[in-house]
Structure 1
Amino acid sequence: MLWKVALLSASDKGSRGEREDTSAQVIRELMEEELEGEIVDYRIVPDEQDEIRAALIEMADYFQADLILTTGGTGLGLRDVTPEATLMVADRTVPGMAEAMRTAAMNRTRRAMLFRGVCAIRGRTLIINLPGDPKSVHELLMAVMDVLPAALLQVKGLGREIDA
């Protein structure tokens, strides 16, 4: 199945063209190689909660993305507001996926516990927050890659419910 994927980078410098968005390139490659994902929308917005929220709503509701992957804005800085914006648009959360990502990263560095990213569902769209660092993006995304197809099928109402 070909999945519709949207990428959203939250970065003040990236939105001003002062920083190359290398994390989005990592995501793009992983989606094409590992998930059979087609990028249907990609944008960079500043670290502003209202702009992140509006982009997530448009990607989920207008572009009808199956999966939205965000990068950036998940740390402890004052302008790191991607998790809050995600929760504002979410119908439900998927805490196990975020826990799995944090656990995988903590095997490498204890600083991973400072990652505040969330995973959530809006309508029929799964939203996953990722950090801004390309190496961490790869590591955390690979931590959940094997369950993504089943998760996406369930969110779409096409998959079998799984009891833990």
Structure 2
Amino acid sequence: MKVARITLSDRASAGVYEDRSGPEIERILGEHFAGPIEWKRVVIPDERPQIEETLRQLCDAEQCDLVVTTGGTGPAPRDVTPEATRAILERELPGFGEIMRVQSFAKVPTAILSRATAGTRGRTLIVNLPGNPKAIGEILPMLVPAIREAIRHLHGE
């Protein structure tokens, strides 16, 4: 399976701090998927054109089975991940964002501010996650069954 993880952060991409969210995504998916995973690792700033181009490249040219983004899903002016994702999607799967918000809201009332989404482009599933490693650890494991099923459908199984 080929999986890309994109960390969207102005500061992490500039080397101001270490990316901890991307490695957390790898840890969790590595625990939940059997077989080898070929990882594509990207850290870029919150720039919508760059995000869109990176997503297109990973879906169309690299033909990743799964692309997981982390960061840029809040209400701040530079949080543009959902807009960039929707711009390149063929089909949106809003249930991912809905369940992430519902589950997170029980622990963190400000989770309602998240605008994360998911969808497909070609045979690739794209899922937006929050930028906080702790939130990733709480949310991503519960998404694994749906991720697994979506990938099977995208591959015609």
TM-score, with structure 1 as normaliser? 0.91
Q: Does 1:85 align with 2:96?
A: no
Match of 1:162 in 2: none
Structure 1 residue 9, shift from structure 2 partner? 0.8
Match of 2:118 in 1: 119
Amino acid at match of 2:67: I
What does 1:16-35 correspond to in 2, within 5 Å? 16-35=14-33
- In structure 2, list runs of 5 or more residues that go unmatched: none
Alpha-carbon separation, structure 2, partners of 1:71 and 1:40: 15
Structure 1 residue 67, shift from structure 2 partner? 0.5
Any idea what SS the aligned residue of 2:37 has? strand
Alpha-carbon separation, structure 1, partners of 2:119 and 2:147: 13
Identical aligned residues as a percent: 38
Match of 2:143 in 1: 144
Any idea what SS the aligned residue of 2:74 has? coil
Match of 2:41 in 1: 42
- In structure 1, list runs of 5 or more residues that go unmatched: 159-164
What does 1:46-85 correspond to in 2, within 5 Å? 46-85=45-84
Amino acid at match of 2:94: P
Structure 1 residue 147, shift from structure 2 partner? 2.2
Structure 1 residue 146, shift from structure 2 partner? 2.2
Alpha-carbon separation, structure 2, partners of 1:40 and 1:22: 16
Any idea what SS the aligned residue of 1:108 has? coil
Q: How many residues align?
A: 156
Structure 1 residue 5, shift from structure 2 partner? 0.6
Structure 1 residue 25, shift from structure 2 partner? 0.8
Structure 1 residue 21, shift from structure 2 partner? 0.6
Measured against aligned partners, the alpha-carbon deviations of 1:85-130 in whole angstroms (never above 9, x if no partner) come to: 0000000001112111111111212211111111010111000001
Following TM superposition, the consecutive aligned residue runs of length 4 or more in structure 1 with deviations greater than 6 angstroms are none
